[in-house]
Amino acid sequence: MTPFTFDKLVIFGVGLIGGSLARALRERAGVAPGGRIVGVGRTRASAERARELGVVDDVASLDDDRELAAALAGADLILLAAPVAQTRPLLERILPFLGEHTIVTDAGSTKSDVVAAARAALGARAAQFVPGHPIAGRESSGVEAALPDLYVGRNVVLCPLPENRPADVARIDALWRVTGALVSTMSHEQHDRVFASVSHLPHLLSFALVERILSAPDAALKFSFAAGGFRDFTRIAASSPEMWRDVCLANRDALVDELDGYLAVLGQLRTAVLASDGATLEAVFSRSREARTQWQERGGLAPK
Amino acid sequence: MTPFTFDKLVIFGVGLIGGSLARALRERAGVAPGGRIVGVGRTRASAERARELGVVDDVASLDDDRELAAALAGADLILLAAPVAQTRPLLERILPFLGEHTIVTDAGSTKSDVVAAARAALGARAAQFVPGHPIAGRESSGVEAALPDLYVGRNVVLCPLPENRPADVARIDALWRVTGALVSTMSHEQHDRVFASVSHLPHLLSFALVERILSAPDAALKFSFAAGGFRDFTRIAASSPEMWRDVCLANRDALVDELDGYLAVLGQLRTAVLASDGATLEAVFSRSREARTQWQERGGLAPK
């Protein structure tokens, strides 16, 4: 395990993701004597809950210049764990108080838009910003749902900028490894293509299925006979509408590319069904089952 | 509970579905003194396993006229629990030995094709055939996976024919109620539209997503970052390719109608994403989440 220490870590948005990182650092790495974790919320009150739970040591309000300046003074690291759409305004708010040696990272589930926001907000000081994405979630959210082992065995993707200092990237890498995560690196473009494919598109498709059923005059009858296949397929249709609206908008181009590729596959299957072409259907279904089964056998992912 | 008794029940295909019915009748209704459950397989050996497990009392081979005649003589009820595509050949094989008072039912997951197969195979004697569909499955299959409580709280849909005798329909209704199932009645056309929507289409969509990822040059990378959303969405892509090929072909028209309605919804979402129309996306996602959450709260369905 790469050693990781810090004197001051500031987390913007202490919910499931930020709170779990704080709890992981406390329980797995130990916080050095004098080391502090500071939670910043839109208001002071929204971060207080995290202090009451012992997740952070100190809190500050985003709206109060004095509190924010005090929170950021001498910070080693800043983690943005607020909704992705807030990246640019948050960074603009942080910039006047950003120390020369402070490293900033984030936990957003899209990366090209975050990189653009960081460049727009920070200019040349975007060199201090190392984009990241921990792939971890639970059905519940909020700081109450934070777990010290949320990241154990989970992937964290870093998308370093060409202007990042290698030492800063290594430090963010070490931060996540301490939590038990598996850290990978790729470009932000590749990140967004990968997650459009395996995460964003499935969410869109799942929401769309429920919408399709709702639009039918006999929707109630249909829901009353929905069983296990529907249950699994639509579990992610219970996800946050605001979050997924933002993800779809932030990763628009990769998502539409992926959707178009998917529509081409559906078109082939539609043709095969209409032509009663059982051989094509069975070939596609067999390949899919084999790949899905292998994925599960290689470890898949169990809920936490 | 409606009383249900029988002297002889013959099950064609003693796997998960047929075996669970046999076990439910033994444990929940009790089998009357002298009452027998007979399992028929493609070969004698394939049904023997069910007898070894105590699921059936006697076995017969489909290929042996004498055994089949003996199995069907004096049968109160016949359940077809083999793949749907075998309905017509099975009924043609049964017809010469079919008693005047024997009621035949099935467990196929599509119904219009089963009705057509029954009319083609049985002619006027299709009046003895009461189409049915127990909505129950498990990830495992085969008689070893059969459970006496598989049907407790599950839906069973009957699609009676106009020529069925009401007393015969009532008897099949009573058969399933004894297992703890909730029995409903609808036309075979309505059945096929409902299940195209909540079951067949989701399976097609799930297989298609895995196929889409497989077609990408970076498929391995994508699978390696697939997480919980992918896991839930594609769980049904590990289903039997042969079974789902047959379902897609058997329910072709309703499935294509449902797919086309779904493609229209996807087209609207694609337009909204391209136009960065967050309000439309959020409205659709919110409606879907609310409907999915209400479905879950009304009982949803837990795996067995």
The answer to whether residue A138 scores a pLDDT higher than 70 is no
Q: Which two tokens stand for residue A83?
A: 């909704």
The answer to whether residue B139 scores a pLDDT higher than 70 is no
Alpha-carbon span A295 to A290, nearest angstrom: 9
Enumerate the CATH 3.40.50.720 domain ranges in chain B, comma separated.
Answer: 8-186
| Cross-chain residue pair A199–B229, CB shorter than 8 Å | yes
Q: Which two tokens stand for residue B19?
A: 């075996």
Among B residues 138-167, those touching chain A with beta carbons less than 8 Å apart: 154-155, 157
| Cross-chain residue pair A212–B296, CB shorter than 8 Å | no
For residue A303, what pLDDT is reported?
Answer: 47
Which pLDDT band holds residue B278 (cuts at 50, 70, 90)? very high
Of B234, B255, B286, the CB nearest to A292: B234
Q: Who has greater pLDDT, A141 or B220?
A: B220
Task: Tell me what percent of the residues of chain B surpass a pLDDT of 90.
Answer: 85
Among A residues 91-130, those touching chain B with beta carbons less than 8 Å apart: none
Angstroms from B191 CA to nearest CA on chain A? 9
Tell me how many helices (H) and strands (E) chain A has: 13, 9
Q: What is the DSSP string of B204-252?
A: HHHHHHHHHHHTSTTHHHHHHT--HHHHHHTGGGGS-HHHHHHHHHHTH
User: A101 vs A12, A35, A168, A190, A302, CA distance in Å?
Assistant: 18, 17, 9, 29, 38
User: B302 vs A262, A268, B289, B294, B296, CA distance in Å?
Assistant: 30, 33, 19, 15, 10
Which pLDDT band holds residue B68 (cuts at 50, 70, 90)? very high
Angstroms from B276 CA to nearest CA on chain A? 6
The answer to whether residue A1 scores a pLDDT higher than 90 is no
Average of per-residue pLDDT across A57-80: 96
Enumerate the CATH 1.10.3660.10 domain ranges in chain A, comma separated.
Answer: 191-297
Beta bridge partners of A129: A104
| Cross-chain residue pair A276–B226, CB shorter than 8 Å | no
Across chain A, mean pLDDT equals: 93
Beta bridge partners of B8: B36
| Cross-chain residue pair A276–B249, CB shorter than 8 Å | yes
- From the list A191, A166, A162, the residue with the least C-alpha distance to A84 is A191
Q: What angle do CA A218, A222, A223 make, to 5 degrees?
A: 120
The answer to whether residue A266 scores a pLDDT higher than 60 is yes
Which pLDDT band holds residue A74 (cuts at 50, 70, 90)? very high
Which pLDDT band holds residue B83 (cuts at 50, 70, 90)? confident
Residue B63 CB partners (closer than 8 Å, separation 6+):
B42, B43
The CATH architecture assigned to A8-186 reads 3-Layer(aba) Sandwich (3.40)
Alpha-carbon span B294 to B291, nearest angstrom: 5
CA B228, distance to chain mean position in Å, is: 28
Q: What is the per-residue pLDDT across A146-166, written as a single tens digit (0 to 9) for each?
A: 999 999 999 999 999 999 999
Task: Find the residue in A nearest to B239 (Cα).
Answer: A289
| Cross-chain residue pair A245–B281, CB shorter than 8 Å | yes
Query: Quick check: A221 and B248 in contact, CB under 8 A?
Result: no
For residue A3, what pLDDT is reported?
Answer: 63
Q: What angle do CA A222, A248, A164 make, to 5 degrees?
A: 150
The answer to whether residue A52 scores a pLDDT higher than 60 is yes
Angstroms from A93 CA to nearest CA on chain B? 25
CATH superfamily, domain A191-297, is 6-phosphogluconate dehydrogenase C-terminal like domain (1.10.3660.10)
The one-letter amino acid at B281? L
Question: What do you get for the CA distance between the two ends of chain B, in Å?
Answer: 23
The answer to whether residue B246 scores a pLDDT higher than 80 is yes
Reduce the DSSP state of residue A204 to 3 states and report it.
Answer: helix
Measured between beta carbons, the chain A residues lying within 8 angstroms of B211 are 265, 284, 287-288
Q: What is the DSSP string of A122-185?
A: HGGGGGGEE-EEE----SS-SGGG--TTTTTT-EEEE---TTS-HHHHHHHHHHHHHTT-EEEE
In degrees rounded to 5, what are phi and psi of residue B157? Answer: -105, 130
Residue B30 CB partners (closer than 8 Å, separation 6+):
none
Sheet with strand A132-134: strands edge to edge = A132-134, A155-158, A182-185
Q: What is the per-residue pLDDT across B142-198, written as a single tens digit (0 to 9) for each?
A: 899 999 999 999 999 999 999 999 999 999 999 999 999 999 999 999 999 999 999
Task: Find the residue in A nearest to B253 (Cα).
Answer: A274
Residue A15 CB partners (closer than 8 Å, separation 6+):
A81, A141, A142, A143, A146
User: A10 vs A7, A56, A79, A102, A118, CA distance in Å?
Assistant: 10, 9, 6, 10, 17
